[in-house]
Amino acid sequence: MTFVGIGILAGLSFGIYLIDFKNTSQLVYVEGPGISIVTEKLDFKKGEEIKIKIINTGTVPLTFSNTSYGLRITGLSGILMHTPTSAQVISELKPNDEVELSWDQIKNDGDTALEGLYKISAKGFDPMGEKVEHSTTVTIWK
């Protein structure tokens, strides 16, 4: 019985650690090229607007091939759900700059996103032309 209690306590402690780690791991500053994606929370109600901040968390400017800053929202299987409509104009984020975009949970085909896990990613390029990419995961509930 003692071992079961210890196991439950250890599992609960580890779960709390993972939740705390997950919430703070969205924003990481680095030397050189770096990008982070931050959402106001990780769990959203179905139909709720999801505000997404793309932040240059590095020390060099990043360029993007369009005005949506390489934003993509996919299912965990990798199937593309949404890319914002954007102008094909080179955009730049200087170190510590950020841009805020949002997703109304409407997929590219016009259907509403279902409940589940979604990966939000952004991809840019450093001054040497190397890809800089980051993603985070959010959950949509009923």
The two structure tokens encoding residue 12: 């609960």
pLDDT digits (tens, 9 = 90+) for 88-138: 889 999 999 999 999 999 999 999 999 999 999 999 999 999 999 999 999
Q: Is 18 helix (H, G, I), strand (E, B) or coil?
A: helix
Burial 37-71 (b: 16+ CB within 10 A, else e): bbbeeeebeeeeebebbbbbbbeebbbbebbbbbb
Contacts of 11 (CB under 8 A, 6+ apart): none
Q: Could you state, in order of their start, the residue ranges of all structural domains in the chain? A: 29-141
Burial of residue 120 (CB within 10 Å: 0-12, 13-18, 19+) is buried
**Can you give the pTM of this predicted structure?**
0.80
Q: What is the mean pLDDT of the chain?
A: 87
Q: Answer whether residue 26 shows pLDDT above 80.
A: no
Does the 29-141 domain belong in CATH 2.60.40.1930? yes
Give the pLDDT band of residue 15 (cuts 50, 70, 90): very low
